[in-house]
Structure 1
Amino acid sequence: MLKELFKKTFDIRDGEIHISFFMQLYIFLLITVLLMVKPTINALFLSKLGADHLPYGYILVAVIALITMFFYNKAIKKFSLRIITISTLVFFSLSFLLLSLLMFWGALSYFALYAYYLSVALFAVLVTSQFWIIANMVYNAREAKRLFGFIGAGAIAGGIFGGYLTSIIAPAFGNRVVMLLAAALLLCCIPILNSVWKIRIRKLNVYIRNQRKNAEKQSYTSPYKIVLKSKHLTYLAAIVGVGVIMAKLVDFQFSDFANRAIPDSDELASFFGFWFSTFNVIALLIQLFLTNRMLAWLGVTTNLMLLPFGIAIGCLLFLTFPELWVLIIIKGLDGSFKQSINKAGIELSILPIPYHIKSQAKSFIDVVVDSFATGIAGLLLFFVVRGMNLNSSYITVIILLILFIWIFLIYKLRETYFESFRTNIQSSLQANSQVKKKISLETTTNSTIQVLSNGSEIEILNLLDRLQNYRLKSLEPHIIKLLDHPSNEIKSAAITQLYFYKKGTAINRIKELIHTKDDDVVYRAMDYLLHHTDIDDSRIFESYLNHSSDYITNAALLCLAKESPENKNLAVKYDLNARIERKIRELTTADNDLRKQEVGELMIAIAYAGEPKYYSFISANFNNRDPYVVGHAIKAAGITAHAPFVNDLINFLAEKTFRRNARRALRNYGPEINKTILNLVVSENLDNEVKPYIPKVIESFKSKEGVKILMRLLKSKDFIIRLQAAKSLNKLQINSATLKIDQRSLTKIILKENEYYKNTLNAITSLKRSIGTQDLSETTTDEETDLLVARESLIEILNHQLDQSLECVFKLLSLKYDRVDIETAYFGLKSDVQNTKINAVEFLDNLLQSRLKSSMLPLIEYHIIDNNDYSISSFDSADISEKRVLLMLMKNRGPKVKLAVLNLMAELHDVTFIKKITPLLKHKNKSVRYFAKNALDKIRQGQLTPS
């Protein structure tokens, strides 16, 4: 119970407690040692040399830091971080041991004091920098955001403990014992580091080695250039530097005012002791109970804003009330927030940077930038405040100016932090060949002419299709030449293209094509003469309706039928209905030899004539064995827009051969067809093969009403319908910018889809719990085998629906956020690389609004990222009985799941299911009715069978 309370309080998951305590103990010891040696060395330095030597110390710290980092980065290129870190700990431990001996022998010289003053300054930044680099290796982005607050509490606790320990040991045993104990404690960090390396980092060795090999292939780049080359690192370094300068100015102003307000040295020491201890206690409480929650709520970079905004408010208050109590508040904000929320934010900000870059850049930022900024702060105080003899109150104005720069830099870091995750994911996807590259195919006029003149039949037809609605004068002679092409299909396409040029273009050549023995060419040519020349229509019909060539008479009949809706007199004059009847009789004659093209043209003519008594001829050909005839029957049905044809046309969507024709035919019915389709979806009476193409029909209308219908389809119980509706809305948004989607409704739908996702996860967990460890090889009876197969079949369907639901969520998110960002995150989650998946989740965490990410991310982490080694998701699957799961699925899911659920219910023989199954005997879906009856029969039979 205590363990569960601890995990809940600090948001620590299974498998993380052990490693997190090791990391917390590691930083606790480091900071304890730092708080033991730093005041000891500072006291020795001031007592022996005096405060006048401090400026020289500041300058030397900056110089030594640069020299140290040069050799340190050389070492990083050759040795592992573990070896370097252990060597660092051993070196400083021996140094402190030597200092203890020098103090015991009374052999401290000026040179030794400077050396140790500089070494402690380097120790403070170097060992902590190494710790946080290791922490970045131990934890991924999602874990780090939760756990850096808990781990960082060890640093603050170490500061409190180290300070108190020094204040007890130094007066009683002397500073040499303090240094001796510090040396011993520092060596205790080595076994902890080895344990951490064994538990977590060793698994990453292959990945790290590969990165190091890639880095070694490149020429050596100094950390300074590495930082400048990356916007992300440049802003991060600038933020660290500005933060250090600001902290030094705040500390100086606080100390100066306190010194003037409290002249007595003992009272001043007591004042400092009380407030510094209080600030550390506050920082510890913030770190333990607030940091990880703030990071989860506001995100990494937004949390960095809290400290500068807090200090800015304090500075404005100080300008109004220049009192010591205001400076206590400002110093308190700096002292408590800097080591808690701000520190965690800084360490998390470098997570997106690759390891081989991070290992050099972070050390450079922590050591060189920090030391250099300290020097700048000293120079600023020396030349501006002391040199100009300004009152320390004026420092507030300087702080406000620095805060403005600080906030600006954090704002810029937000962009680069987000971009770094995006770049990492995209780079990983490219490496794994998962990014689909879109190639722009732009054809110049010269290449177009080349294709028209010398291209293959397919190339020419594709090009003419793309040239529709374009009138390019330079292409006209080349299109006219196509009228002499050997391919009749190209001739037809060329005639169609000539509609976009001057009326009567190539009229003589097209007249000649009337006598071609190809139905489509003849029809296209005759239609061109009727609609794109000045020839009188009557002359054309009188010349061709009774022609001896059936190619010409069929084309003329089709043209007459096409004209009849707008010109009833023309239909009467040339007796259209009688001609159609005669053609139908010819077809039904036993010895007829009508070509399939004649049948196709006749059905189209019937459709244009608009006489329902002939429509049976169209429907009869839905079952024709020739795909050409069926295709024309579908086209003809669409032209009629006859309501009884709708169901047949919808069923044709399931067949790839006729899908395009069926979609076009349904579109001819106009937007009113959307309501019919919606009713079919609601009734759950659609075949699974048809469902994916239903939303595409609605999409084709590109209307506001279509958007509303698609939004309603997103509430369907069927996963396939919802996914395809989401895809159709995406296409509409891309191709029709004027069609707007209600964002509030969209958010509700996304949250509802998340609920489906969550319920599916719960259902799978419950079913797996029912199966346990059993497999088919362990079943002893047919009943056990059938039951196991039924459960596994349902789990397989639900797993498939999980993937569909996830894709649907991301398609919906694409309607709300930048499409490229959402696609990047989605393909990142589908990657085979674990780190890429984790980066994708963190990318989403920074992209989504609070309500969506709190609903989505735990589910995605649980389903996609969690593994047997450790868990990063806060989602706990509900403990739901199998019976309750089955009833929930039967009620809220589409026919496919209903069938699998009914099959499992039949194998369970639970009589309590009878009441719930019985209403499905009247379900509109035929398969559901059949499975419901079968399930009821099996359950009742099980009742009668003796056990």
Structure 2
Amino acid sequence: MYQKLRSFFKQTFDIRDGEIFISLLMQMYIFLIITVLLIVKPTINALFLSKLGADHLPYGYLIVALVAIISSYFYNGIIRNFSIKTVAVFTLIGFSISFTALSALMFFSILNNWVLYFFYINVALFAVLATSQFWILANLVYNAREAKRLFGFIGAGAIAGGVFGGYLTSILASLIGNRFLILIAAILILCCIPILHKVWGMRVSKLNTYVRKQRKETLKNSGESSFKIIVKSRHLSNLALIVGISVIIAKLVDFQFSDFAHKAILDSDELASFFGFWFSSFNVIALLIQLFLTNRILGVLGVTSTLLVLPLGIAFGCLVFLTFPELWVLIIIKGMDGSFKQSINKAATELSILPIPFLLKNQAKSFIDVVVDSIATGIAGFLLIFIIRKLDLSTSYITVIILLFLFVWILLIYKLRETYFNSFRSNLQKSVSFTPDAMKDFKKETTLDSSIRILTSGNDDEILVLMDRLDHFKMKPLKQYILQLLDHSSIKIKAAAVRQLYRYDKGTASDKVQSMLHIPDDTFVLVAMEYLVLHTNLKDTDIFNTYLDHETDYIANAALLCLAKESHTNQKIGVKYNLITRIESIIASLQESKSDFRKQEIGEVLITIAYSGKPKFYSVIWQYLEHPDSYVVMSAIKAAGITKDEQFVEVLVDFLEFKQYRKTVIKALKNYGEEITRTIFKYDREENISDKVRKYIPKVIEVFKTQTSVKMLFRLLTSKDVLIRLQASKSLSTLKRGNSSLVFNQRKINNRIFKESEFYKKTISSIATLQLKLDSSKLQDEMLIDTSTSLSMAREQLIEILNSQLDQCLECIFRLLSLKYDKTDMEFVYYGIKSDSREAQMNAIEFLDNLLQIKLKSTLLPLIEYHILETDNEFIKRSEFLHISEKRCLTLLMKNRGKKIKLATIKVMRYTGDSDYAKLLIPYKKHKNIEVQDAVKQALFSLIKSKIAV
């Protein structure tokens, strides 16, 4: 029976293990509070209206406001110095005593005007304080994601209490009298205390001791008043104004409803019964909404959009009332206020304060629920007294005032949307112990003062980074500081300074640079020589005549390389200085005595050969691509790229596997132009590129930074290999961030996100299927122990790869989301989800919940929750993660996945011994990838052998 009940709660209300009992207790707590309220409120309202009339209601509103403001001063001090548990217990006992006193006064008929005013205020304060304390407790018991799932269910208890209390009042008021009803209410209040103790013991007392102590101390030491806390927070300010406006409208609606009802029903008991019946009916509607609509509406619209439902509903009713000013229309308006407010709006309002840290939430919420509510009640009383009564206007004019306030209410909700979202962003950033790459980047120095500071007193790394940043700017005021760096002790900084001279007038510091040619550093001399050739008034012939045959090898080699570069566009100068002969001579020397050449010399020779454009020399480049020294290999790679010869493409692509050469290879491939991306794309489709190489293909395409690059990367997003898709999404994200002129098709992005989400779901299903088979294999016969062990290991390997692909797929999804939303936000969300902190995970999901479009949200959030709750086996039993047979699972993996999964899947098929798999594997004998072909042949041999043995 218990299992069936637990299953019912899970399926119907999405209540998970460990949440059912605590949620039922919380539901019972608020049920009792609202039951009591629906007993005492109709009773005291009926007595108040019968003896004093509706004209006194506005004065009651004003007095309630005044008393609440005064008492809030003491109440806030109590909240700061005592736990919410202690405060709630004393509050419940106090109101129980006061209601018992009211029952006694009614029994002895001691109900003068002052007594009625006192208990009218007393009931109003009970409605605010008791419910406020409950929701503070609820915000402490549940985190943001739990609250979004469970507040609807818990709130149903409040509505059920309204139904029960209202109908109880309606039935018993005429049978036993109001005085006995009030006594019953006083007893019911006390039943909340043991529930409160149980809830506190189950959840709150188990919070980390340090956290609880810190919270308490922070509250005690907080010198700020609740008012200052709210004013300093835009989010709390908007929320307070929304609550205030809603209370004003509620009071105006309540006054109209009470006034029309009082004129129609004169007897107090009948009026109490009328109020009880309709209040209960409103709560029945609210209960139905709460049980079947609230969670769905919150899930679809989000918290802030859900807040619009109540004001829009009241606005519709007011427009109808202006046409038909009758009681039945007011019943509809009051019904909307009563049913929506206690269901959809209540859940959304309580959720809207969740982003606020608990340390502030406790104090601020009490102020909003007590003081703001009471001030708003006073404002409503003021409007009724000084506008409606003093101007002797019909109560129908109240509707016009309500419509004006509704406009302000809706406007404030739109403002709250932004602050609510920003609050979760702030919480997420604080809870994630990670700084996204975007935050790590060296801040670009854009001001003159900061640039001068770095150039004059910065360390070597800072200077080099700044010099690199200045490549795209011509900053004349920095000229003297750049020239000073020519005397810097670092050769690298000297070279960077010479490169900066191109930004200034031709010939700047040419004498200085020429005098530095004797610095014994190949790289610097080459940079200096190139500057003299390209950006000075010195004649090229004078330079080449002076330095080509220089006795110092690094100067002669630099001059020869500059000659080769010049001849690349001006063949006459190459002929004039016998470039080909010089190259042949140096190659011959190189072949004869390799050991006599420094690696820097060899590197310059290779680059010189490349710029010569003579294919007959390219064999030398091939030769040094296999050299043991990485510097020489890197030079050969640069040379291969400079040639742009097709013969080097495949070997260059192979070099992508090695980290030390990767950047150089990408630059080399970039020399070939954009067409090289199509060639590489073709290699990838043939699946003959190594896995270690394939994942860097998107980086090659990315480097061109053109619209064609974007197009090609989108094509890579259709790859069967999730790793390729991940790398392509990273490259697209990089291009998006650095190139505002590029266009990224949002429809394609959405489609790819949905495809990745489908891939994620199918991977989960495959893991579940394989895990089930793996678990059952432990029960196999001992006679098959060897086969069983091999099969289990094969399944474990496949599951491990699939789990790895889940992580890659999730990251790919967030990279794609960064093409639609702010990249830094998405990085924070991703690392929040990956964090070990539960708070960070919940903030990340809630942030997404409020950011994503409805369709994306409904698709992604279940997957992300799976990733966080992947240890919960119950989660993957949900309908969205359908289980399939192992045969179907393996067939789909072979058909829709890349080489790595194919090889692991073939191994599982092989060790099953099921000959039916042979039919599935035969078509893959002609697969493009050789490794897959070999694995298929081995599997077919084993399967056929097993079949013969049988």
TM-score in terms of structure 1 length = 0.91
Superposition deviation, residue 478 in structure 1: 5.8
**Structure 1 letter corresponding to 2:310:** L
Superposition deviation, residue 12 in structure 1: 4.1
The whole-number CA distance in structure 2 between the counterparts of 1:644 and 1:919 is: 33
The whole-number CA distance in structure 2 between the counterparts of 1:732 and 1:3 is: 50
What SS does the corresponding residue of 1:772 show, helix, strand or coil?
Answer: helix
Match of 1:815 among 789, 803, 819: 819
The superposition leaves residues 527-570 of structure 1 with CA deviations (integer Å, 9 ceiling, x where unpaired) of 33433334444454455545555445433433332223322333
Does 2:733 align with 1:724? no
The whole-number CA distance in structure 2 between the counterparts of 1:943 and 1:169 is: 81
Match of 2:148 among 145, 151, 162: 145
Superposition deviation, residue 893 in structure 1: 2.1
Q: Which moved more, 1:28-37 or 1:684-693?
A: 684-693
Partner of 1:906: 910
Partner of 2:349: 346
What SS does the corresponding residue of 1:565 show, helix, strand or coil?
Answer: helix
**Structure 2 letter corresponding to 1:412:** K
Match of 1:801 among 805, 809, 817: 805
The 3 A distance-change label for structure 1 pair 539 and 67 is closer
Aligned ranges 1:855-894 → 2 under 5 Å: 855-865=859-869, 876-894=880-898
The whole-number CA distance in structure 2 between the counterparts of 1:475 and 1:302 is: 53
Superposition deviation, residue 53 in structure 1: 5.8
The 3 A distance-change label for structure 1 pair 168 and 500 is closer
The 3 A distance-change label for structure 1 pair 405 and 535 is closer
Asked if structure 1 preserves the Cα contact closer than 8 Å seen for 2:152 and 2:343, the reply is yes
The whole-number CA distance in structure 1 between the counterparts of 2:464 and 2:233 is: 50
Asked if structure 1 preserves the Cα contact closer than 8 Å seen for 2:40 and 2:182, the reply is yes
The superposition leaves residues 484-538 of structure 1 with CA deviations (integer Å, 9 ceiling, x where unpaired) of 6676655544443333333334444544555665544454444334333344444
Match of 1:81 among 71, 81, 84: 84
Q: Which moved more, 1:302-311 or 1:659-668?
A: 302-311
Partner of 2:415: 412
Superposition deviation, residue 813 in structure 1: 0.8
Asked if structure 2 preserves the Cα contact closer than 8 Å seen for 1:917 and 1:936, the reply is yes
The whole-number CA distance in structure 2 between the counterparts of 1:8 and 1:594 is: 77
Partner of 1:825: 829
What SS does the corresponding residue of 2:92 show, helix, strand or coil?
Answer: helix
The 3 A distance-change label for structure 1 pair 118 and 395 is closer
What SS does the corresponding residue of 2:821 show, helix, strand or coil?
Answer: coil
The whole-number CA distance in structure 2 between the counterparts of 1:459 and 1:868 is: 49
The 3 A distance-change label for structure 1 pair 507 and 834 is closer
The superposition leaves residues 289-330 of structure 1 with CA deviations (integer Å, 9 ceiling, x where unpaired) of 222211111111111112222222333344345455544433
Q: Which moved more, 1:115-124 or 1:193-202?
A: 193-202
The 3 A distance-change label for structure 1 pair 881 and 14 is farther
TM-score in terms of structure 2 length = 0.91
Does 2:533 align with 1:500? no
The 3 A distance-change label for structure 1 pair 509 and 234 is closer
Asked if structure 2 preserves the Cα contact closer than 8 Å seen for 1:142 and 1:872, the reply is no
Partner of 1:687: 690
Superposition deviation, residue 914 in structure 1: 2.5
Superposition deviation, residue 664 in structure 1: 0.7
Asked if structure 1 preserves the Cα contact closer than 8 Å seen for 2:777 and 2:788, the reply is no
Partner of 2:337: 334
Asked if structure 2 preserves the Cα contact closer than 8 Å seen for 1:834 and 1:865, the reply is no
Partner of 2:927: 923
Q: Which moved more, 1:257-266 or 1:25-34?
A: 257-266
Match of 2:662 among 647, 659, 663: 659
Does 2:606 align with 1:603? yes
What SS does the corresponding residue of 1:290 show, helix, strand or coil?
Answer: helix
The 3 A distance-change label for structure 1 pair 133 and 555 is closer
The whole-number CA distance in structure 1 between the counterparts of 2:525 and 2:118 is: 101
Does 2:502 align with 1:528? no
The whole-number CA distance in structure 2 between the counterparts of 1:265 and 1:458 is: 86
Asked if structure 2 preserves the Cα contact closer than 8 Å seen for 1:452 and 1:460, the reply is yes
**Structure 1 letter corresponding to 2:343:** S
What SS does the corresponding residue of 2:691 show, helix, strand or coil?
Answer: coil
* Structure 1 runs not aligned, ≥5 long: none
The whole-number CA distance in structure 1 between the counterparts of 2:66 and 2:573 is: 101
What SS does the corresponding residue of 1:468 show, helix, strand or coil?
Answer: helix
Asked if structure 2 preserves the Cα contact closer than 8 Å seen for 1:15 and 1:870, the reply is no
Asked if structure 2 preserves the Cα contact closer than 8 Å seen for 1:507 and 1:533, the reply is yes
Q: Which moved more, 1:276-285 or 1:411-420?
A: 276-285
Asked if structure 1 preserves the Cα contact closer than 8 Å seen for 2:54 and 2:262, the reply is no
Asked if structure 2 preserves the Cα contact closer than 8 Å seen for 1:861 and 1:873, the reply is no
The superposition leaves residues 692-730 of structure 1 with CA deviations (integer Å, 9 ceiling, x where unpaired) of 422121111111100101111122222222222112112
**Structure 2 letter corresponding to 1:564:** S
The whole-number CA distance in structure 2 between the counterparts of 1:453 and 1:288 is: 69
Superposition deviation, residue 127 in structure 1: 1.3
Does 2:586 align with 1:579? no
The whole-number CA distance in structure 2 between the counterparts of 1:336 and 1:658 is: 68
**Structure 2 letter corresponding to 1:843:** F
The whole-number CA distance in structure 1 between the counterparts of 2:437 and 2:839 is: 15
Asked if structure 1 preserves the Cα contact closer than 8 Å seen for 2:768 and 2:876, the reply is no
**Structure 1 letter corresponding to 2:840:** T
Match of 1:786 among 787, 790, 793: 790
The superposition leaves residues 77-100 of structure 1 with CA deviations (integer Å, 9 ceiling, x where unpaired) of 333322332332233233333444
What SS does the corresponding residue of 2:416 show, helix, strand or coil?
Answer: helix
The superposition leaves residues 803-823 of structure 1 with CA deviations (integer Å, 9 ceiling, x where unpaired) of 222121111111101223322
**Structure 2 letter corresponding to 1:123:** F
Asked if structure 2 preserves the Cα contact closer than 8 Å seen for 1:434 and 1:827, the reply is no
Match of 2:196 among 193, 196, 200: 193
Superposition deviation, residue 217 in structure 1: 6.2
Partner of 2:225: 222
The 3 A distance-change label for structure 1 pair 365 and 499 is closer
The 3 A distance-change label for structure 1 pair 34 and 147 is same
Partner of 1:291: 294
Superposition deviation, residue 588 in structure 1: 2.3
Q: Which moved more, 1:882-891 or 1:292-301?
A: 882-891
Asked if structure 2 preserves the Cα contact closer than 8 Å seen for 1:10 and 1:289, the reply is no
Asked if structure 1 preserves the Cα contact closer than 8 Å seen for 2:169 and 2:273, the reply is no
Q: Which moved more, 1:221-230 or 1:803-812?
A: 221-230
Asked if structure 1 preserves the Cα contact closer than 8 Å seen for 2:429 and 2:828, the reply is yes
The whole-number CA distance in structure 1 between the counterparts of 2:339 and 2:395 is: 23
Q: Which moved more, 1:605-614 or 1:320-329?
A: 320-329
Asked if structure 1 preserves the Cα contact closer than 8 Å seen for 2:81 and 2:220, the reply is no
Does 2:841 align with 1:837? yes
What SS does the corresponding residue of 2:812 show, helix, strand or coil?
Answer: helix
The whole-number CA distance in structure 1 between the counterparts of 2:274 and 2:248 is: 24
Partner of 1:243: 246
Superposition deviation, residue 189 in structure 1: 2.4
Partner of 1:395: 398
Superposition deviation, residue 755 in structure 1: 1.4
Asked if structure 1 preserves the Cα contact closer than 8 Å seen for 2:307 and 2:349, the reply is yes
The whole-number CA distance in structure 1 between the counterparts of 2:410 and 2:134 is: 27
Q: Once the two structures are aligned, what percentage of the paired residues are identical?
A: 58
The whole-number CA distance in structure 1 between the counterparts of 2:454 and 2:724 is: 41
**Structure 2 letter corresponding to 1:851:** K
Superposition deviation, residue 385 in structure 1: 0.7
The whole-number CA distance in structure 2 between the counterparts of 1:492 and 1:266 is: 97
The whole-number CA distance in structure 2 between the counterparts of 1:869 and 1:230 is: 41
* Structure 2 runs not aligned, ≥5 long: none
Asked if structure 2 preserves the Cα contact closer than 8 Å seen for 1:13 and 1:871, the reply is no
The 3 A distance-change label for structure 1 pair 434 and 167 is farther
The whole-number CA distance in structure 2 between the counterparts of 1:180 and 1:715 is: 71
The whole-number CA distance in structure 1 between the counterparts of 2:482 and 2:50 is: 98
Equivalent pairs counted in the alignment come to 946
The superposition leaves residues 135-160 of structure 1 with CA deviations (integer Å, 9 ceiling, x where unpaired) of 22333322333332333232222222
Match of 2:649 among 633, 646, 649: 646
Q: Cα RMSD over matched residues?
A: 3.6
**Structure 1 letter corresponding to 2:344:** I
Superposition deviation, residue 756 in structure 1: 1.7
Match of 1:121 among 121, 124, 134: 124
